[in-house]
């Protein structure tokens, strides 16, 4: 019989017994007691007896339920102390079995949900490797438990060209590639463990295409470098992904404890800095952290912090380097070169801050300042009757801004400067990789009178079809091409081939960073039209430049 039905039958029998007893007691009292006072007393006694029996009949089940509910409440309150495993009290199971079963099932589901949430919070869902949180917690324990003078190694792995996979094949294929990378890393780590009984290295995926491996014991720094080299080689092997052969690489940074840090945070920072050096060196390689890298990184941080306020403080100036025609010897124009007049370090050249400005995006603000300064300078020259072309560099970051070309036109127009007086220089890589929309905007500027040049030609990978169709006036040879032309026949052959290629697309050739008269003579013989370099003039500030050009014109300077 079910518990609820049994309870009802028990209550009914008890209540019936109480009623029958009351009836018998009352009957006897009225049959044998004749006095009125005795009848009243008997009636009161009989009524009280009936009430007592009825109360007992009703209170019996209520008191048992109350005790069960009280016990259940205490069990639920125990959750505050983290008790999710104890079963429901016996009194609840005896008096309310259905409720007890439901409560036990609820706690089981809660425990399962917590375990699942813990797994999701501690492991990467794509590769099933520990995530950043898990890695930090476990690596901290492993580092703390090692012997004081024992060597440990942190390896930071960042994939090269992974973004291209996501862009071309989609994020689903990118996730599959990450799983394959994780498996190769597991193979390398397992091979390093071998038959040893020491603590197992900790492999994790931090985020995106970043992985890290912590070796709590390492015999020597050379062993850590060997592992890093094996990782770089393992990831450099092509991946077969749904009919596609995927070639990526890995840049690996290595940091050692205690030499490079005594905490997981400091080791990860050091390994990250070393990884970026490996990536900036071309990728597909490893780099061991050093104090030199630390100092370089700190200089970068200091430069980044100072750059953000340098424009507002007016610390930038333009230096102008003349460009001369090989045919006439006349000044055909000049290139505006950015200089940073640092309040403590003095005049800083572009290569000491432009890369940082590019990485941080400050280059866009610097570019706006350069355009405004060029416009102001050309407007002043016009008022003095001087009309000479001025070239300036355009950063790829500036081209990413949708309003760049409109802002350029507005700045020059407001200053009253025609586009025919400016030349825009784009790096070879930017020119080859920009979108068709950007090319159309560049072509429109050229139609309106602006000159277009490719700077540092020979340092990238030119698309010859793009070079042939690009709106172009001049190509500037990179200094690395011409520095050995005096002493190397091979260098001269390469430069001659490049010159013929540029002439084939109808562009003028500018040789920059020419330092000797011998170099100038060779370049002129090869067909270069314009020269720029120390052999004729160093970069100079505006007043000196104007004086120099006036003297050059009066003296009819010739390089022919």
- pLDDT greater than 60 at residue 190: yes
CATH, domain range 300-558: 3.20.20.450
Separation of alpha carbons 278 and 228, rounded Å: 11
β partners of residue 437: none
- pLDDT greater than 50 at residue 10: yes
Of the candidates 405, 456, 411, which has an alpha carbon nearest to the alpha carbon of residue 430? Answer: 456
Q: Tell me if residue 492 falls in helix, strand or coil.
A: helix
Separation of alpha carbons 196 and 243, rounded Å: 39
Confidence class for position 417, pLDDT limits 50, 70, 90: very high
Of the candidates 498, 379, 488, 486, which has an alpha carbon nearest to the alpha carbon of residue 428? Answer: 498
Separation of alpha carbons 156 and 255, rounded Å: 8
pLDDT of amino acid 558: 45
Separation of alpha carbons 38 and 301, rounded Å: 108
β partners of residue 325: 530
Show Cβ contacts of residue 183 under 8 Å, excluding neighbours closer than 6 positions: none
Exposed, middle or buried, 493 (CB in 10 Å: 0-12/13-18/19+)?
Answer: exposed
pLDDT of amino acid 559: 42
- pLDDT greater than 60 at residue 4: no
What confidence tens digit (pLDDT) does each residue in 441-475 have? 999 999 999 999 999 887 766 667 778 888 899 99
Indicate the domain borders of the chain: 132-289, 300-558
Q: Which DSSP symbol is given to 540?
A: B
Q: Tell me if residue 538 falls in helix, strand or coil.
A: coil
What confidence tens digit (pLDDT) does each residue in 330-353 have? 899 999 999 999 988 899 999 989
- Stated as kind and residue range, the H or E segment containing 383 is helix 362-383
Q: In this predicted structure, which of 69-83, 369-383, 401-415 has the lowest mean pLDDT?
A: 69-83
pLDDT of amino acid 52: 59
β partners of residue 123: 130
Residue percentage of the chain with pLDDT more than 70? 81
- pLDDT greater than 60 at residue 557: no
131 touches 198 (CB < 8 A): no
Q: In this predicted structure, which of 44-58, 95-109, 399-413 has the lowest mean pLDDT?
A: 44-58
Mean pLDDT across the chain: 84
Q: Which DSSP symbol is given to 130?
A: B
What confidence tens digit (pLDDT) does each residue in 359-401 have? 888 999 999 999 999 999 999 999 999 989 999 999 999 998 9
Dig out the tokens for 229 from the structure.
Answer: 């080299």
- pLDDT greater than 50 at residue 171: yes
Q: Tell me if residue 477 falls in helix, strand or coil.
A: strand
- Report the pLDDT averaged over residues 41-54: 59
331 touches 323 (CB < 8 A): yes
- pLDDT greater than 50 at residue 356: yes
Compute the C-alpha angle 498/499/505, nearest 5°: 90
CA distances from 149 to 193, 219, 223, 258 (A): 21, 11, 17, 8
Q: Which DSSP symbol is given to 219?
A: S
- pLDDT greater than 70 at residue 410: yes
Q: Where are the beta strands (DSSP E) in 303-462?
A: 316-325, 331-342, 346-348, 389-394, 422-427, 451-457
- Report the pLDDT averaged over residues 65-90: 72
Kindly report whether the global pTM for this prediction surpasses the value 0.75.
no
Of the candidates 390, 382, 377, which has an alpha carbon nearest to the alpha carbon of residue 321? Answer: 390
Q: In this predicted structure, which of 43-52, 182-191, 546-555 has the lowest mean pLDDT?
A: 43-52
Confidence class for position 21, pLDDT limits 50, 70, 90: low
Of the candidates 222, 318, 391, 223, which has an alpha carbon nearest to the alpha carbon of residue 540? Answer: 318
- Report the pLDDT averaged over residues 228-239: 94
Q: Which DSSP symbol is given to 527?
A: T
Confidence class for position 183, pLDDT limits 50, 70, 90: very high
Residue percentage of the chain with pLDDT more than 90? 50
pLDDT of amino acid 456: 87
CATH, domain range 132-289: 3.30.70.270
- pLDDT greater than 90 at residue 91: no
Separation of alpha carbons 273 and 251, rounded Å: 11
Percentages (nearest 5) of helix, strand, coil residues in the chain:
60, 20, 25
- pLDDT greater than 60 at residue 60: no
Confidence class for position 70, pLDDT limits 50, 70, 90: confident
Rounded to a whole number of angstroms, the CA Rg of the chain reads: 43
432 touches 472 (CB < 8 A): no
Instruction: Name, of 68-72, 73-77, 512-516, 553-557, the range with top average pLDDT.
Output: 512-516
Dig out the tokens for 192 from the structure.
Answer: 């390093």
């Amino acid at each position: 019989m079910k518990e609820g039905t049994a309870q009802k039958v028990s209550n009914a029998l008890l209540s019936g017994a109480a009623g029958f007893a009351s009836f018998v007691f009352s009957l006897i009292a009225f049959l044998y007691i004749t006095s009125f006072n005795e009848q009243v007393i008997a009636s009161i006694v009989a009524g009280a007896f009936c009430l007592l029996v009825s109360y007992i009949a009703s209170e019996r089940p209520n008191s048992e339920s109350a005790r069960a509910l009280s016990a259940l409440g205490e069990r639920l309150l125990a959750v505050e102390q983290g008790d999710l495993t104890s079963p429901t009290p016996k009194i609840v199971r005896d008096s309310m079995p259905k409720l007890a079963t439901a409560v036990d099932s609820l706690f089981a589901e809660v425990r399962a949900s917590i375990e699942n949430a813990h797994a999701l919070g501690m492991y990467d869902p794509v590769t099933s490797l520990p995530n950043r949180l898990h890695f930090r917690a476990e690596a901290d324990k492993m580092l703390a438990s090692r012997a004081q003078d024992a060597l440990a190694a942190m390896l930071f792995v960042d994939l090269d060209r992974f973004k291209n996979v996501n862009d071309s094949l989609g994020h689903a294929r990118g996730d599959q590639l990450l799983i394959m990378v994780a498996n190769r890393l597991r193979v390398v780590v397992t091979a390093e463990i071998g038959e040893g009984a020491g603590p197992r290295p900790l492999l994790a995926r931090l985020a995106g295409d970043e992985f890290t491996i912590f070796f709590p014991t390492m015999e020597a720094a050379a062993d850590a470098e060997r592992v890093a080299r094996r990782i770089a080689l393992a990831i450099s092997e092509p991946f077969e992904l749904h009919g596609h052969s995927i070639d990526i690489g890995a840049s690996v940074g290595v940091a050692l404890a205690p030499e490079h840090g005594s905490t997981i945070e400091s080791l990860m920072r050091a390994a990250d800095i070393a990884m970026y050096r490996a990536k900036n060196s071309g990728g597909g390689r490893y780099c061991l952290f050093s104090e030199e890298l630390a100092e370089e990184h700190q200089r970068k941080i200091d430069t980044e912090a100072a750059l953000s306020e340098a424009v507002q403080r007016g610390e930038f100036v333009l230096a102008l380097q003349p460009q001369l025609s090989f045919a006439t010897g006349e000044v055909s124009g000049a290139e505006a070169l950015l200089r940073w007049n640092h309040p403590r370090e003095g005049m800083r050249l572009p290569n000491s801050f432009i890369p940082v400005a590019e990485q941080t995006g400050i280059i866009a603000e610097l570019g706006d300042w350069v355009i405004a300064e060029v416009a102001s300078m050309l407007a002043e020259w016009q008022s003095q009757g001087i009309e000479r072309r001025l070239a300036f560099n355009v950063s790829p970051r500036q081209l990413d801004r949708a309003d760049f070309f409109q802002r350029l036109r507005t700045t020059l127009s407001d200053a009253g400067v025609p586009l025919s007086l400016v030349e825009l220089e784009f790096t070879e890589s930017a020119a080859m990789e920009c979108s068709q929309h950007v090319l159309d905007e560049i072509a429109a500027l050229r139609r309106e009178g602006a000159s277009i040049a490719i700077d540092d030609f020979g340092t990238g990978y030119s698309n010859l079809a793009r070079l042939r169709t690009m709106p172009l006036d001049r190509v500037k040879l990179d200094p690395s091409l011409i520095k050995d032309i005096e002493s190397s026949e091979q260098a001269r052959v390469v430069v001659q081939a490049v010159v013929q290629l540029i002439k084939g697309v109808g562009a003028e050739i500018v040789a920059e960073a020419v330092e000797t008269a011998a170099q100038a003579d060779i370049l002129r013989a090869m067909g270069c039209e314009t020269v720029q370099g120390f052999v004729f003039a160093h970069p100079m500030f505006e007043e000196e430049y104007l004086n120099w050009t006036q003297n050059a014109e009066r003296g009819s300077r010739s390089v022919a």
